[in-house]
Structure formats: structure tokens, C-alpha cells
Amino acid sequence: MIEWWSQSQTGWIGGVGGAAVGVIGGCFGALAGVLAKQGRGERFVVGGLASMAGVGAAALGVGLVAVLLKQPWHVWYPFALLGLVLVFTATPLTFSMRRIYEQAGARRLEAELLRTGAERGARSGGAADGGFIFTAVVASAIVSGGAMAAAIAALHNKPPAAANTETISHVTERTGDK
């Protein structure tokens, strides 16, 4: 069996290769974070992460071939380590970035709807969209009420429904309403 490289060469390969992957990955991650929050460069970011996952899978494949060819650990280990790191970081990040881009698209669409609604309201001389504003106020009140019930429940160490009815009974006792 001929070794692909020596054990001392593995140190250089692992050190230089690991540093290169780390620096490139860090710079790409910083750029991806900035671009994703702005909703820009989706093909670049998601494609780059998918490419990293693909390179990781290929490295795992080469590591597996090295094991099957009975290469010593210092030959297959750098491939296996690189492959595992890239696959298990880039794959979940690909899905996370897709979700961030979807959220950015939803924010952009919401802003556009608000902008066109405000323009329509200014042209008609009335509110932008009374139904939308009413729905937003009602939804906000429901969320706030649920948060208030949860906070009261946390203070009383009881489930929210029990805390809510107990709080209502305390209020009615104080005001005299029944």
C-alpha cells in the first residue's frame, strides 16, 4: 500500500487547509449575514452554502475511499474532518438562510403594501385602509392580552387560563361589578 502522503505532510495539509477553510468560511458567513438581512444576493448566499455542503460531501466520499483502500488515519482523517465540518455547518445554514430571505421578502412585500395603501389613502383623502388598521389593532390587542395572561400566570405559577379567570374575579371584587 502506498500512502498518499506522510504523517508530517498531514500536519501541513490540515493546518493550511483548515485555516483556509476557516478564513473563507468566516468571511463568507459575515457577508452572507449582511446580505441576507437586506434581502440581497440570495442566489450567491444560498448557492455558496449549498456548494460548501457539496464540497463537504465530496470530502467525506474521498475519506471513505481512503478508508476502504486501507490508507492510514493520517490520510483519511483530514478528508473526514473537513467533510463533517462542512456538511454539518453548511447544510443547516442553507435552510436558515432560505428562511431569512423569505422573511426579508415578506418585509419588503409588507412595506410595499403599506406604501401603496398610504398613497391610495392620500389620494382619496381618507385613511389608508381602515380594515387593515382595524385588523392590526385587534391582532395587537389579542397578542398583548395573551402576553399579559402569560405574565400573570408566571407571577402566580398557574396556567394562563386559570390565572386569567382568577385575575378577572379579583378585578370584579375590587370594583364591585358582578
Q: 83-112 pLDDT, tens per residue?
A: 999 999 999 999 999 999 999 999 989 998
Instruction: State the pTM of this model.
Output: 0.60
CB 86 within 8 A of CB 52: yes
The pLDDT mean for the chain works out to 78
Q: Would you say 14 and 79 are in contact if contact means Cβ atoms under 8 Å apart?
A: no
At 157 the pLDDT is 56
For the stretch 47-89, pLDDT in tens is 999 999 999 999 999 999 999 999 999 999 999 999 999 999 9
**Model confidence band, residue 151 (pLDDT cutoffs 50, 70, 90):** very low
Q: CA-CA distances (angstroms) from residue 142 to 38, 71, 145, 148, 154?
A: 30, 64, 5, 10, 18
Q: What distance in Å separates the CA atoms of residue 133 and residue 130, rounded to the nearest whole number?
A: 5
Closest C-alpha to 73, from 19, 4, 16: 4
